[in-house]
Amino acid sequence: MDFSNFNGAEQAHMTKVIEKRQMQDFLRLYSNLVEKCFNTCCNDFTSKALSSKEETCIMNCTEKFIKHSERVGARFAEQNAENMNQGGS
């Protein structure tokens, strides 16, 4: 985003708003990851420790979730760049 038309105080405010939103997005992503992987992988509550099967499941779930999120982010950036180019033409 271009904040060059804003004064210093407005730029600082907008930067804080964006940083807050990014933190909220990160926390939402993390929370969704924990919930999804826990619900999918953890189903034996007879022990405090994770079984090797549960641990492997959680590692795979986490890796898959992060790769998916990265791909969605990359695709969003591609679409955004394409839209910006179409708008500028």
pLDDT digits (tens, 9 = 90+) for 16-63: 999 999 999 999 989 999 999 999 999 989 999 999 999 999 999 999
Q: Does residue 6 contact residue 46 with C-beta atoms inside 8 Å?
A: no
48 within domain boundaries? yes
User: According to the model, what pLDDT value does residue 12 have?
Assistant: 87
Residue 89 predicted with pLDDT over 70: no
| pTM score, whole prediction | 0.66
Q: For residue 67, give both structure tokens.
A: 């790769």
Tally of structural domains, the chain: 1
65 within domain boundaries? yes
List the domain range (segments joined by +) for residue 76: 8-85
* CA–CA separation, 13 and 5 (whole Å): 13
Q: Does residue 25 contact residue 4 with C-beta atoms inside 8 Å?
A: no
Q: State the CATH number of the domain containing residue 29.
A: 1.10.287.810
2 within domain boundaries? no
* CA–CA separation, 87 and 89 (whole Å): 6
